[in-house]
Chains A and B, each alone.
Chain A
Amino acid sequence: MLPYLVAVWLLLVGLYGVVTSHHLVHLVLCLAVAQASTYVLLLAVGYRTGGKAPIFADLPPGTPVVDPVIQALTLTDVVVEATVTALLLALTVQAAKRFGSVEPDALGALRG
């Protein structure tokens, strides 16, 4: 149960950071924190008591292992998070250039 609660806490604290942020880079990193909750959630879903890492390089076949499907999903999750962060940081650079500000509240007005 504890890992699940940690995941919930990470999501909420990340969202809190996004909502109260005063800097776009800080905002992007808070989003990364919120997304980290999904890693914890997935790994907790896949974990089994006494399960070894699902690598059979030095394990005899049939050893109880944790769920490799969930681990592969987590890998996908990490990759998507990296791409989202890269794109958002690129957008931050553009916003800073165009509007001269990285304060999210200063970017509310539409400009042609």
Chain B
Amino acid sequence: MSRRARGALFGAATVVLAVVLVSAVAELPRPSAPPPRSAKLSTSVSLHERHGTDTVAGVTFDLRGFDTLGEELILFVAAIGSAVLLRAQRDPELLERAAHAADERRPRTASALRALGALLVAPMLVLGGYIVTHGHLTPGGGFQGGVMLAGTLLLVYAAGQMAALERMHPQALVELADALGAAAFALVAVGGLVFASAALANFLALGVAGHFLSGGTIFVLEVSVGVEVTGAIALVLNELLDQTLIREG
């Protein structure tokens, strides 16, 4: 189909779609509507039955825990999938040489950016760890903190330390983190079957709401998701960075 014909078809279809969508959203609840029962119930379950003050984490890891298991496995499979797609032709020696070459070219990068990148690595790791481990108390959790932890890889790249990054051989480590996190989540799910009534049911002490060690399995699940997400995102970033190196080198 020519570009022009496609554009005409898309234009006509868009007008129809826009009319349908606008009439559909006109029926959706407005901010002034009373909150649905599910909102009140999920809030009270998270707060009183699971002793977690972050009710979003309560919903994610308790009421929708099984969905989150699937979601985590989606991330796991997608990370493996992109690694398989990108790793087809990779030679460690070539990468090492390309990394050194990249570092030598790097002086063209502003030194302020390099210094800032190196400087921010440690604070980012601490902040990411904090976000992962406090997901049951305050906004954040495994997914959010995991992305921050994996993002430090990009800071190392910005700091122009590709050779250091290649020497660390992060592949093995991030793959391990990816697999361990996913396995830990599945084990906690099975733990619910063994020690309590159902998969993902809580089987740990709940503690006092607002304390660091509280929320029972929510805390454990947050940390395992944090490890898994760090591994998965770092795996994808690492593969894409290697592609950049191969292209440049």
Residues of A participating in the B interface, judged by any CB pair closer than 8 Å: 1, 4-5, 7-8, 11-12, 15-16, 19-20, 41, 44-49, 51, 53-57, 61, 64-72, 75-76, 78-80, 82-84, 86-87, 89-91, 93-94, 105
- A61 to B45 Cα, complex, angstroms: 12
Closest to B52 in A: A56
Pick the most buried of A5, A69, A76, A80: most chain B CB atoms within 10 A of its CB. Answer: A69
Contact A55 B53 (CB under 8 A): yes
Q: Does B6 contact A (CB under 8 A)?
A: yes
Chain A nearest CB from B16 CB (Å) reads 11
Residues of B participating in the A interface, judged by any CB pair closer than 8 Å: 3, 6-7, 10, 14, 17-18, 21-22, 25-26, 28-33, 35-36, 38-39, 42-44, 46-48, 53-56, 58-60, 63-64, 67-68, 71, 74-75, 78-79, 81-82, 85-86, 88, 137-139, 143, 147, 209-210, 233, 236, 239-240, 243
Chain B residues, CB < 8 A from A78: 143
Closest to B2 in A: A105
Known: A53-B139, A69-B39. A83 touches B30 (CB 8 A): no
A-B contact pairs, 24 of them (CB 8 A): A4-B25, A8-B25, A20-B7, A41-B25, A45-B28, A54-B56, A55-B54, A57-B53, A57-B54, A57-B138, A61-B44, A64-B35, A67-B39, A69-B59, A69-B63, A70-B39, A75-B60, A76-B60, A82-B147, A89-B240, A90-B236, A91-B85, A93-B243, A105-B3
Partner of A90, one of B33, B75, B86, B137: B86
Partner of B143, one of A15, A51, A75, A89: A75
Chain A residues, CB < 8 A from B54: 54-57
- A16 to B233 Cα, complex, angstroms: 29
Chain A residues, CB < 8 A from B85: 87, 90-91, 93-94
Contact B28 A44 (CB under 8 A): yes
Known: A11-B21, A76-B68, A79-B143. A65 touches B55 (CB 8 A): yes
